[in-house]
Amino acid sequence: MASSKKLTIDDIAAAAGVSKATVSRYLNGHRELMSEKTWERIKTVIGVSDYKPSAIASNLKKRTTNLIGVSIADITSPFSVALIMGISRCLDENGYTLLISNSGDSLEKEKNNIDSLISKGASGLLVNTSAYDNDFLIETSCKGVPIVLCDRKIRNYTLDVVTSDHEAGMRTLIQHLREKGYSRPVLFTQNCEQNSTRMRRRESFIQAVEEIYGYSPKEQEDIFIIDHSEGISTVSQLQRLKKSLKEDDVPAVIGTNSITTARAYHGISELGMSMPDEIGLCGPEDWDWSNELNWPYMIRPHVTTLKVPSTEIGYRAAQRLLQKLQHPDLLPEEISLHCVLNARESTQLKGK
Amino acid sequence: MASSKKLTIDDIAAAAGVSKATVSRYLNGHRELMSEKTWERIKTVIGVSDYKPSAIASNLKKRTTNLIGVSIADITSPFSVALIMGISRCLDENGYTLLISNSGDSLEKEKNNIDSLISKGASGLLVNTSAYDNDFLIETSCKGVPIVLCDRKIRNYTLDVVTSDHEAGMRTLIQHLREKGYSRPVLFTQNCEQNSTRMRRRESFIQAVEEIYGYSPKEQEDIFIIDHSEGISTVSQLQRLKKSLKEDDVPAVIGTNSITTARAYHGISELGMSMPDEIGLCGPEDWDWSNELNWPYMIRPHVTTLKVPSTEIGYRAAQRLLQKLQHPDLLPEEISLHCVLNARESTQLKGK
DNA sequence: TTGTACGCGTTATCAG
DNA sequence: CTGATAACGCGTACAA
């Protein structure tokens, strides 16, 4: 019942009548370094005992662990969850364990978390960063800590990063809207300042519209900032959009992420606008692991999305990090995964 | 630029011209154990260096960490995510870090994970277990590892556990259906064998129907097992339900969890049944942190749910674990949190 | 094939 | 107030 006292390698050695060096060899699978008999004896002793080597002590000696630190900008987002799933799967397959921390979109918190992850022996970091301006990550990387960024990049420095191809994805989406007959694509987004993903989507939007529609979207007219903290609600922006419509204009809202898209959906319902005829709606879809619980697919009309391979981003990032652990001199690279268009009812304007 | 070499307490001691013991005292805030001057000198030295104490070495010595191991049965479920959020918030507030592992609903994996978490120095365990029959957890607890179960219990042994009050919740739901005029409440569930939560919900269903409707629900007629792996689809079960209906019977499906409820929703749509008039639908709602992305609230008709305080379960479980860490002799207790009925359109049968 | 001795970075003890 | 020094549990040259 009681946990008399934690067994150590010495106890095992004593019980097996060998030295702890030999036990250590057994533990590390150096079968060739001892006789069959010794091997078996140790095996037996350990078998009946419930001895568990202390990973802590082992780490202290080896100066490396199989812990991977994960810093998530905002764990409440579906994207983060998918990311963690992917990371978890890969690390699992390779015998690593996740050390998770959430920075709640605060850079200060992120710094503390990362320091803490490192001091706890994380041998590498997977970072979904909260800040685009991030000297701290640069310093950390320079100190020799292997880092792979997940989805979001940082300014002015090349770190390993795994993202999705927002540019191509946005082009696909805009192309789709054009084909369906929407004449006025607009972007609904939150503030982009410290969020490289939103920035990139915004840029991609502008470029894609230029390419495909042949005009330059304007900051004020075609890009709508939603900022609940400043009282700029989705509904008010939708109303502004509605007023700005010219004759025969059929608008389509592109949400910059799941939340924005969902909010736009709610706003459109609230205003009683008819979708997809009066207004179209589409956006990214981060939740890539279960269609059954996936709202774009559950609601009516089903919402057209750009499926972001969130889980795979996590998986690949983890994979890359493990690579870097083995080959510390690998040069940073950017891995960009494809997004897939899921055309559904919310953008089915014409009989196309 | 390069990480010359990790700084140790010795380096700091040398630089400050004191012994490492003194530095250690400084690090642990024993201000009273040294002169103001010494304190300041060390402070300065550490300030300019980027020395970070090694938590590993410290742990080895102190034989305790501020790592909490979390074992999740199935990380892909929304409930798990909410749970982790709650855990994360509490541990965060108290300076602990999460060590997360996912057992993918496999007991074998769960065992391995827990062993690994312990060997990595987790000072306590938060377990959302995958198996109701679970001697392993009992043994582990007996060995002195502090454990708090999250949501799911185990058979034949009292461990600390934080759950939601399924019994009362189910009663509320059934009462609601009765009031709304549904005459035939049925439960849709997956297999319950190793899942205490499903088992409890099933039992609660039976009891509540007896109490409120005054008859005993039958295994075959009123409880529908969905098992995709065995080819028993939601649609086929709905059809079976439909055929079994007597004149004037108005059925209402209760899903045993988010997935089942969502599947029932899809099935009902597919069969073109009209909700809430021809059939009602309700179920638990695990995703308790963002209504904007919450499908029961997004789809039409909005789905009536029993809101499970998933995040709070995590929070309270973590809290309880920290308590146990300080007072190892605390007797196990069960904390049961209330669920809240969110009556919405999917059960709005009459003009009630 | 096996054992000895030492080091890893920190904390605790005890002496000064 | 401060400093040596001995643990902590394990890994690994090096010796036997």
Which string of DSSP letters, residue by residue, matches A19-80?
-HHHHHHHHTT-GGGS-HHHHHHHHHHHHHS-----HHHHHHHHT--SEEEEEES-TTSHHH
Q: Decide if A329 touches B, using CB distance below 8 A.
A: no
Query: Which tokens belong to B341?
Result: 């009925």
Measure CB to CB from residue A259 to each of B97, B98, B292 and give the nearest one. Answer: B292
Measure CB to CB from residue B293 to each of A65, A78, A144 and give the nearest one. Answer: A78
**8 Å CB contact between A337 and A162:** yes
Listed in order, strand segments (DSSP E) in A141-264 are 147-150, 160-164, 184-189, 223-225, 251-255
C1' (D3) to CA (A57) span, angstroms: 26
**8 Å CB contact between A309 and A83:** no
Segment A212-234, tens digit of pLDDT: 999 999 988 999 999 888 888 99
Q: Decide if B5 touches A, using CB distance below 8 A.
A: no
User: Would you state the pLDDT for residue A313?
Assistant: 98
Nucleotides, chain D, CB distance < 7 Å: 1-5, 7-13
CA A221 to chain centroid? 31
Q: What whole-number percentage of chain A has pLDDT above 70? A: 98
Closest alpha carbon to A158 in A332, A295, A317: A332
Write down the mean pLDDT value for chain A.
92
Q: Spell out which residues of chain A touch residue B101, defining contact as CB-CB under 8 Å.
A: 88, 92, 97-98
Q: Spell out which residues of chain A touch residue B99, defining contact as CB-CB under 8 Å.
A: 67, 97-100
Segment A155-182, tens digit of pLDDT: 988 999 999 999 999 999 999 999 999 9
Is the pLDDT assigned to residue B148 strictly greater than 60? yes
Q: Which of residues 58-97 of B touch strand C (CB under 7 A)?
A: 58, 60-62
Is the pLDDT assigned to residue A38 strictly greater than 50? yes
- Region B139-168: what's the mean pLDDT? 94
CA B278 to chain centroid? 34
Nearest nucleotide to B22 by CA–C1' distance?
A: D2
R_g (Cα) of chain B, nearest Å? 26
How much helix, strand and coil, in percent to the nearest 5, is found in chain A? 50, 15, 35
Q: Decide if B2 touches A, using CB distance below 8 A.
A: yes
Query: Which tokens belong to A163?
Result: 């993202």
Q: What gap in Å lies between CA B137 and CA B39, rounded to an integer?
A: 47
Closest alpha carbon to B240 in B304, B176, B184: B184
Q: What gap in Å lies between CA B99 and CA B120, rounded to an integer?
A: 9
**8 Å CB contact between A234 and A187:** no
Closest alpha carbon to A167 in A206, A223, A217: A206
Q: What gap in Å lies between CA A28 and CA A320, rounded to an integer?
A: 26
Nearest nucleotide to B25 by CA–C1' distance?
A: C11
Q: Spell out which residues of chain B touch residue A119, defining contact as CB-CB under 8 Å.
A: 52-55
User: Would you state the pLDDT for residue A351?
Assistant: 57
DSSP letter at B104 equals T
Q: What whole-number percentage of chain A has pLDDT above 90? A: 76
Is the pLDDT assigned to residue A4 strictly greater than 70? no
Place of tokens 């749509």: B269
Spell out the SS3 assignment of A259-273.
Answer: HHHHHHHHHHHHCCC
> In A, residues 110-139, which contact B (CB 8 Å cutoff)?
115-121
Rounded to the nearest angstrom, the minimum Cα separation between B342 and chain A is 19
Rounded to the nearest angstrom, the minimum Cα separation between B68 and chain A is 10
Contacts of B150 (CB under 8 A, 6+ apart): B83, B87, B126, B127, B128, B161, B162, B313, B314, B317
User: Would you state the pLDDT for residue A323?
Assistant: 95
B52: left (phi over 0), alpha (psi -120 to 50) or beta: beta
Q: What gap in Å lies between CA B327 and CA B331, rounded to an integer?
A: 10
Nucleotides, chain C, CB distance < 7 Å: 1-5, 7-13
R_g (Cα) of chain A, nearest Å? 26
The CB-side HSE value for A25 (13 A sphere, CA atoms) comes to: 15
User: Would you state the pLDDT for residue B15?
Assistant: 92
Q: Decide if A266 touches B, using CB distance below 8 A.
A: yes
Tell me which of B300 and A321 has the higher pLDDT: A321
Determine whether the interchain pair B115/A52 forms a contact, defined as Cβ–Cβ distance below 8 Å.
yes
Q: How many CB atoms lie within 10 A of CB A20?
A: 16
Peptide bond into A284 cis (omega under 30): no
Segment A230-269, tens digit of pLDDT: 888 999 999 999 999 998 899 999 999 999 999 999 999 9
Is the pLDDT assigned to residue B1 strictly greater than 60? no
Measure CB to CB from residue B98 to each of A57, A100, A144 and give the nearest one. Answer: A100
Phi/psi for A117 (5° steps) reads -60, -45
Name the residue type at position A122: A
Residue A19 CB lies within 7 Å of the nucleic strand C: yes
Place of tokens 């970070």: B52
**Element containing residue B205 per DSSP (H, E):** helix B196-213
Could you give the 3-state DSSP secondary structure of residue B336?
Answer: strand
User: Would you state the pLDDT for residue A62?
Assistant: 87
Q: Decide if B335 touches A, using CB distance below 8 A.
A: no
Bridge-based pairing state of the strands A97-102 and A124-127: unpaired
Confidence of residue A3 (pLDDT cuts 50, 70, 90): very low
Measure CB to CB from residue B3 to each of A143, A263, A290 and give the nearest one. Answer: A143
Determine whether the interchain pair B65/A56 forms a contact, defined as Cβ–Cβ distance below 8 Å.
yes
Is the pLDDT assigned to residue B2 strictly greater than 70? no
Chain B residue nearest residue A74, CA to CA? B85
Query: Which tokens belong to B12?
Result: 């700091």
**8 Å CB contact between B49 and B5:** no
Nearest nucleotide to A62 by CA–C1' distance?
A: D11
Phi/psi for B208 (5° steps) reads -65, -40
C1' (C5) to CA (A4) span, angstroms: 29
Q: What is the pTM of this model?
A: 0.90
C1' (C7) to CA (B215) span, angstroms: 74
Q: Is A324 exposed, middle or buried (0-12, 13-18, 19+ CB in 10 A)?
A: middle
C1' (C1) to CA (A36) span, angstroms: 10
Peptide bond into B276 cis (omega under 30): yes
Is the pLDDT assigned to residue B47 strictly greater than 80? yes
Confidence of residue A1 (pLDDT cuts 50, 70, 90): very low
Is the pLDDT assigned to residue A211 strictly greater than 50? yes
Nearest nucleotide to B21 by CA–C1' distance?
A: D3
Determine whether the interchain pair A298/B265 forms a contact, defined as Cβ–Cβ distance below 8 Å.
yes
How far lies A345's CA from each of A303, A350, B19, B132, in Å?
6, 11, 72, 43
Q: Decide if B168 touches A, using CB distance below 8 A.
A: no
Q: What gap in Å lies between CA A307 and CA B245, rounded to an integer?
A: 41
Q: What is the dihedral of CA B102, B107, B108, B111, to 10 degrees?
A: 70
Rounded to the nearest angstrom, the minimum Cα separation between B82 and chain A is 8
Confidence of residue A5 (pLDDT cuts 50, 70, 90): low
Query: Which tokens belong to A62?
Result: 């080896």
Q: What gap in Å lies between CA B259 and CA B255, rounded to an integer?
A: 8
Q: What gap in Å lies between CA B205 and CA B209, rounded to an integer?
A: 6
User: Would you state the pLDDT for residue A150?
Assistant: 97
Determine whether the interchain pair B76/A263 forms a contact, defined as Cβ–Cβ distance below 8 Å.
no
Q: What gap in Å lies between CA B122 and CA B226, rounded to an integer?
A: 38
Confidence of residue B4 (pLDDT cuts 50, 70, 90): low
Name the residue type at position B293: L
**8 Å CB contact between A85 and B75:** yes
- Region B235-250: what's the mean pLDDT? 94
CA B352 to chain centroid? 35
How far lies B3's CA from each of A91, A144, A267, B52, in Å?
26, 6, 52, 13
User: Would you state the pLDDT for residue B229?
Assistant: 80
Is the pLDDT assigned to residue B76 strictly greater than 60? yes
Residue B61 CB lies within 7 Å of the nucleic strand D: yes
Q: Decide if A332 touches B, using CB distance below 8 A.
A: no
Rounded to the nearest angstrom, the minimum Cα separation between A53 and chain B is 7
**8 Å CB contact between B258 and B305:** no
- Region B120-136: what's the mean pLDDT? 95
Tell me which of B200 and B352 has the higher pLDDT: B200
Could you give the 3-state DSSP secondary structure of residue A302?
Answer: coil
**Element containing residue B337 per DSSP (H, E):** strand B334-337
**Element containing residue B254 per DSSP (H, E):** strand B251-255
* Interface with B, mutate which of A56, A142, A235 (most B CBs under 10 A): A56
The CB-side HSE value for A208 (13 A sphere, CA atoms) comes to: 25
Is the pLDDT assigned to residue A31 strictly greater than 80? yes
Write down the mean pLDDT value for chain B.
92
Rounded to the nearest angstrom, the minimum Cα separation between A247 and chain B is 31
**8 Å CB contact between A200 and A166:** yes
C1' (C16) to CA (B21) span, angstroms: 15
- Region A271-300: what's the mean pLDDT? 90
- Region B240-263: what's the mean pLDDT? 94
Q: Decide if A91 touches B, using CB distance below 8 A.
A: no
CA B54 to chain centroid? 32
**8 Å CB contact between A308 and A348:** no
Q: What gap in Å lies between CA B66 and CA B146, rounded to an integer?
A: 13
Is the pLDDT assigned to residue B347 strictly greater than 90? yes
